[in-house]
Structure formats: structure tokens, C-alpha cells
Amino acid sequence: MPNETSYLGVVHGTTIELGAKTGLPDGFPVRVTVEPVNKTADRLPPGEGLRRAFGAWSEDAKELDLFLAEIRWSR
């Protein structure tokens, strides 16, 4: 059996697809440590978080106006 080796892979939900065969038989127990290859992969581009957060209002401008008016009134 191969010794401890690093493999590159891609996450698909709860499955990690490796880019190479491990040489281990199916069902063989292993320890997996997940480390992003690109350290900034978990970071969104500047402004993208706001676009995603407020995108829910994009098709309901009237409701957004009412919501904002209520917030202003409560101050």
C-alpha cells in the first residue's frame, strides 16, 4: 500500500473527487484533511456578498420600498 501522499481533488457536496488514483482498494479507511488550494477560494470578490444578499429584493422593488420606509420610520 502507498504511504501518506497528497492528492489534488474537487469537492462535490460531501464527496471529494481526486485527480489521480490512490492505489487503495474501495472501502479502505483513510484520514482526509481538506485544505483549499487557492487560499482566497472561500472569499467572494468585493461587493459580491452585497449583491447576493440584496438580490432577493431585485424582483420586488415595491416590497423593498415598504421595508426601507418602515426602517426609516422606526428610527
Q: DSSP assignment of 33-66, as one string?
A: ----SSTTTTSPPTTHHHHHHHGGGTT-HHHHHH
Residue type at 57? Answer: W
Please check whether residue 39 lies inside any domain of the structure.
yes
Provide the CB-side half-sphere exposure for 33 (13 A, CA). Answer: 4
Please check whether residue 53 lies inside any domain of the structure.
yes
Please check whether residue 1 lies inside any domain of the structure.
no
Please check whether residue 69 lies inside any domain of the structure.
yes
- Work out how many domains the chain is built from and give that number: 1
- pLDDT digits over 33-53, tens only? 888 777 666 677 787 777 777
Q: Which domain holds residue 38?
A: 9-74
Please check whether residue 25 lies inside any domain of the structure.
yes
Inform me whether the pLDDT recorded for 54 exceeds 90. Answer: no
CA dist 56 and 27 (Å) reads 43
| pTM as predicted | 0.44
Please check whether residue 3 lies inside any domain of the structure.
no
Please check whether residue 50 lies inside any domain of the structure.
yes
